[in-house]
A and B are shown apart, each in its own frame.
Chain A
Amino acid sequence: MGPGWVLGRWAGRLLVAGLVAFMTFPTLVVFVASFNDTAILSFPPQGYSLRWYANALTYPQFQRAAVNSLLVTLATAALALPLGIASVLALERGRLRGRAFWAAVLLSPLIIPGVVAGLGLLILGAAIGLLQSRWPLIFAHVVLVLPFVIRSLWVSLANLDPNLERAAASLGAGPWRVFWRITLPLLRPGLFAALLFAVIISLNEFVVSLFISTRVTEILPVAMFTYVVNYTDPTIAALSALFILGTFVIVYLADHVLDMSAVFQIAHGRDRERA
């Protein structure tokens, strides 16, 4: 290994560090700004205070939106997971013609641009007169997270050893019992990943929600957008900081509970050699 080689390695490391800094740097600015003690931003801040955190947590529309976000996300997860499980089981194990076609249908929301889905649901929702309730919102979120749920579960189901289920069945367990006692527990990694996707995507969904939510149903990202457009004070910086912190905790925990590399299909050379 010549000196050029070593130099190259360090240049590479520096480059990666720079790029990661580019990705992280705005987040740091958000944190700094959130402690600014005046309504008008200045860097570095002239003084520090927690008043924007207080403002973010007491602003009525944020409180309402936080409750909405929670309810919509819970309902989305509660509906999308069973829906995803049923779909994946049918796709993988059903006597089905045109399997690929049906799969493509269920995964299609992925390539529908947000504004297209949003406007379509707005027109439909206005025609039915349902926009006062949260249901259009929940429906939209279910449809949007379903591809991710299906994908996560499918990988898990495809890797599942069917002999265990066959064994249980041969011991006299009925199909439901096999499903509850064997299949579902074995799908746990996939279920965790699916739940993670459903929760995170639903919590952050913005474009479609902007079109079909109203003052009483709007979720946090929409309320934050409205605030950003109308105010320049650092309240959103405080709220963002809380959001980012929450996300970090979820990602960190998720990385411990389930191997995130595996969720994103990143194999590591050494792990593979061992396998």
Chain B
Amino acid sequence: MARDATEILKEPPATGRAEGGGPRVPALCLLPGLLAMAVFALALGALFQYSLLEFIPGSLRTGGVTTGNFRQVVAPQYLRAIWDTIALSLATTVLTLLASYPVAYALARGRSPVLRSLLLVLTLAPFFTGAIVRTYAWILVLGNAGFINSLLLKAGLLETPYQMIFTTQGVLVGLVHFSMPVMILILAAGISHIDPTYERAAVSLGANPVRTFLRVTLPLSMPGVISGFVVVFAWTFSAFPTPELLGGGRVKMIANVVKDLALDSFNWPGSAAFAVVALAVTFVLVAVVARSVERLGRHA
């Protein structure tokens, strides 16, 4: 069955030989790792605790227990950030999927090993270059004195710079660009595991390439598509640096609100409540889609 990067999210690579392979190891070896997770859980616990404490404006001290922070989350301007986050994540995921599929297909099915290798390096390099470097690159491209505006102004096609940075569309471009490598890798893993004999059979039965693709390749690559969908959606849902730098304070996603409240308004309780909501939505999302992937996987 096709295994891909997203399985990291749900289940261990069950080998079926857990009890039989190699020398036995004391289960205690698990302890150091679990200890680290316990401390991490403590941090999340502190976050939960703060989300239920009263915020005292202008200070880091907290008051008594309250649910007010969660009520604040649904205030209009915050609700808008949540809505924007959902809309942007959906748009990003769909666009990323469309833009990544052809590249993934070429990566999995390309004939020339040299080109395939080049594609892989060109995909991996941005995957391994951090968010700051990649987002900064878009500031240079989209900015009012950036690459595109400079050229259009010089060519006389524009009189004043066209506002691309600090707009929702600008953030969207950055997010799609940011998500493409991971989507490509997941899709390519999925496509490469489709047995090519299916496609050959379809062709030999007289199906044209388009038909073969639509009727055979695409349906068989659905598990990969759905995995890519979950990962990129979840990833974009908690995106921070891209909206922070390309949104310029005008386009705010949930993560930016969390950061603003925590670091600029000292409102740790309010920020924590927002973070808890983000966490809950992420969990629900991953659970729902992981389940649907499983169901689809069984059909395939």
The answer on a CB contact under 8 Å between B145 and A40 is: yes
Interface size class of A (residues with CB under 8 A): 35 or more
Q: Is B83 an interface residue (CB 8 A)?
A: no
- For A244, give its contact among B47, B133, B192, B209 (CB under 8 Å): B133
B278 close to A (CB within 8 Å): yes
**Distance, CA A181 to CA B215, complexed state (A):** 51
Q: Which of B8-16, B74-82, B291-299 sits within the interface?
A: B8-16
Is the CB of B283 closer than 8 A to any CB of chain A? yes
A contact residues around B272 at 8 Å (CB): 119, 123
Q: Contact check, B132 vs A8: say whether CB atoms are below 8 A apart.
A: no
Report whether A260 and B124 are in contact in the complex, using a CB–CB cutoff of 8 Å. yes
Q: Is the CB of A30 within 8 A of B130?
A: no
Q: Which of A96-116 contact B (CB under 8 A)?
A: 96, 99-100, 102-116
Q: A: which residues have CB within 8 A of B?
A: 5, 8, 12, 15-16, 19-20, 22-27, 29-30, 32-33, 40-43, 82-84, 86-87, 89-96, 99-100, 102-117, 119-124, 126-127, 139, 142-143, 146-148, 150-151, 154-155, 158, 160, 162, 165-166, 169, 175, 178-179, 183, 200, 203-207, 210-211, 221, 224-225, 228-229, 236-237, 240, 243-244, 247-248, 250-252, 255, 260-261, 264-269
Interface of A, secondary structure class, is helix
B43 interface residue (CB < 8 Å to A)? yes
**B278 and A255 within 8 A (CB):** no
Contact present for A92 and B15 (CB under 8 Å): yes
Count of interface residues, chain B, beta-carbon cutoff 8 Å: 112
Cβ-Cβ contact count across A and B, 8 Å cutoff: 322
- Per-residue interface assignment for chain B, residues 129 to 149, with 1 indicating a CB less than 8 Å from any chain A CB and 0 otherwise: 111111011111101011100
- Assembled-state Cα–Cα distance A122/B24 (Å): 40
How far is the CB of A238 from the nearest CB of chain B, in Å?
11
Complex-state Cα separation, A142 to B32, whole angstroms: 12
B262 within 8 A of A: yes
Smallest CB-CB separation from B101: which chain A residue?
Answer: A19
